[in-house]
Structure 1
């Protein structure tokens, strides 16, 4: 677990990061600045319950790759979910709130995740655990805002002008952050990656 102190504002950005890319870096740095955070935790998950994990690289190798993008002393890389024994965000965030009750956490996720948020286990519990910053992603803004979860939580959406105080808000509280967009995606990078040459028989 990264070191944190009571009263600090910490953004938790979870994902498989398979592989990490510049879009992740842009999102993390924008969240740090716009939300006035002390730290951003890159939480590398053992696997995504909603995706096939057949082509998933090892947790240790993904954590090493993230080091290229999580730049600066306030960017922290952690894979503590492996020791926690859960792949579900609801359990992870509940653990963080119990362990660090005086820390002001914000869950940071992409607009693509908002589009499928209603499929996450205990998604309403997640929204009630800590404020959520939804970072814009190319092609996902409208789908995210039109999603069942966004509609159900519509009355709790805050304007971007209050971004600097989101960590202080009592959940449910969320907002969509407009940032400089990157068209990169982990899926596209995996598809484009050269495959190792097969040995001749």
Structure 2
């Protein structure tokens, strides 16, 4: 199978994530999209980060009705911070029959040369890139292993959702209903 890997902290998972994942899973040659829930992003320090198992639980609930989407906790047992190349190698070793592709936003493409072993990621895995607001141009746009995928231009951030919760504002329609209920019931981000 050809698997697209969608990395993120998903703190919380929201409809923007789900729309991109579904677009990749149904509008490309990918057979499935796996949400790789990252315990810690090497480029971010976030004191508002929920426990990784809570974030994984939210993702699993959000995608439960879609057989083309899956969540994985592969990074939970890896050294932290875990780097994308290390996770890709671990997944390839664990699932040698699968072909993995990395899904990133256009805003990350300009920064991609700063990633650990970015040349190896391009050579052995390749990128599926979706549009993001205010993306800077990148010299990698012409790379043969970079594929641009037409997708809705979404500007929804988990930070905005957390700010809404702290201000007691509605997050209805921004997160899946099951995720919103879980956040409220467990008093996440308050």
Fold shared per TM-score above 0.5: yes
Quickly say closer, same or farther: Cα 1:68–1:138, change in 2 above 3 A.
farther
Tell me the alpha carbon deviations over residues 89-117 of structure 1, each in whole angstroms, 9 at most, x when there is no partner: 01111122233333121111111222322
Q: Provide the C-alpha distance between the structure 1 equivalents of 2:30 and 2:147, rounded to a whole number of angstroms.
A: 15
Q: Is the contact made by 2:60 and 2:70 (CA closer than 8 Å) also made in structure 1? A: no
Correspondence list, 1:17-166, <5 A: 17-70=10-63, 71-86=65-80, 87-140=82-135, 143=136, 146-147=137-138, 151=139, 153-157=140-144
Q: 1:187 aligns to what?
A: 159
How far has the Cα of 1:35 moved from its partner?
1.8
Question: Secondary structure, in 3 states, of the residue corresponding to 2:148?
Answer: strand
Q: Provide the C-alpha distance between the structure 2 equivalents of 1:133 and 1:40, rounded to a whole number of angstroms.
A: 11
Size of the alignment, in residue pairs? 167
Q: 1:167 aligns to what?
A: none
Unpaired runs of 5+ residues, structure 1, are 1-7, 158-172, 197-201
Q: Provide the C-alpha distance between the structure 1 equivalents of 2:100 and 2:92, rounded to a whole number of angstroms.
A: 8
Q: 2:147 aligns to what?
A: 175
Q: Provide the C-alpha distance between the structure 2 equivalents of 1:67 and 1:10, rounded to a whole number of angstroms.
A: 17
Q: Is the contact made by 1:93 and 1:129 (CA closer than 8 Å) also made in structure 2? A: no
Q: Provide the C-alpha distance between the structure 1 equivalents of 2:61 and 2:167, rounded to a whole number of angstroms.
A: 22
| TM-score between both structures, scaled by the size of structure 1 | 0.75
> Stretches of 4+ moved more than 3 A in 1?
none
Unpaired runs of 5+ residues, structure 2, are 169-190
Q: Is the contact made by 1:44 and 1:59 (CA closer than 8 Å) also made in structure 2? A: yes
Question: Secondary structure, in 3 states, of the residue corresponding to 2:166?
Answer: coil
Deviates more, 1:174-183 or 1:88-97: 174-183
| TM-score between both structures, scaled by the size of structure 2 | 0.79
Q: 1:162 aligns to what?
A: none
Q: 2:173 aligns to what?
A: none
Deviates more, 1:71-80 or 1:21-30: 71-80
What is the root-mean-square deviation in Å for CA atoms of aligned residues?
2.1
